[in-house]
Amino acid sequence: VRILVVGATGTIGAAVVRSLETRHEVLAAGRSSGLRVDMSDRDSIASLYAHVGQVDAVVCTAGHAAFRPLLELADEDLRRSLDGKLMGQVNLVRLGADVLSDGGSFTLSSGLLSRQPLPGSTALSMVNAAIEGFVRAAALDLPRGLRVNAVSPSWVRETLAAMGRDPDPGVPAAAVAGSYVKCVEGDMTGQVLDVFTGAGDAD
């Protein structure tokens, strides 16, 4: 199976690549290494797909959104959040539907803040919830047995450690990666997999 991973060098992306590359051909993409793509730029996504040709799965572990209190969010913060994590992933699906083989899959990233917000998470919570709504509905429209799902991680252990916070409540990146692998190798579609415990069970 030929799998394109956008965000392959990130905390979650690197763990996903490690999990997949033992059994599959993995094409790593990002802004600054591997195959180059800026997912906030539609033309850049189109160029990436033209370059790689047919793939069997696309995984996205990239996407930034602002973390700032509601009344401090500038227009630019909101625009970048929507163009990046939301429209970047939406366009990976819209533009990628033609290059996926029959029955192929898209696996996107949302996040627990969609349903468990924190002060300052408005932009990220909004974007994550939009991705989850997109996945549930887009699955109904995709042709040729194409599938689309999202993984919704809680805090990742390595991310908490990098922030200088207590890593213990976090889920190891390797466990989060297991949910992405389930989406790629399984037959589910229109699902959002919450990752609270590392078990990666779908709700």
Q: Which residues bind ligand NAP (CB under 6 A)?
A: 6-13, 30-33, 37-40, 61-64, 84-85, 88, 109, 111, 153, 155-156, 159
Which residue is at the shortest CB distance from ligand NAP? 10
Residue closer to ligand NAP by CB (options 12, 129) is 12
Rounded Cα distance, 37 and 51, in Å: 11
CA distances from 36 to 47, 95, 109, 120 (A): 9, 16, 19, 31
Residue closer to ligand NAP by CB (options 105, 107) is 107
As measured in angstroms, the least distance from the Cβ of 161 to ligand NAP is: 10
**Closest Cα partner for 35 from 142, 156, 25?**
25
As measured in angstroms, the least distance from the Cβ of 48 to ligand NAP is: 9
Rounded Cα distance, 170 and 178, in Å: 15
Residue closer to ligand NAP by CB (options 10, 96) is 10
Q: What is the residue whose two structure tokens read 């924190």?
A: 118
Residue closer to ligand NAP by CB (options 155, 196) is 155
As measured in angstroms, the least distance from the Cβ of 190 to ligand NAP is: 19
As measured in angstroms, the least distance from the Cβ of 104 to ligand NAP is: 20
As measured in angstroms, the least distance from the Cβ of 87 to ligand NAP is: 11
Strand-strand pairing, 35-36 and 25-30: parallel
The strand pairing partners of 148, in sequence order, are 106
Q: Would you call 106 helix, strand, or coil by DSSP?
A: strand
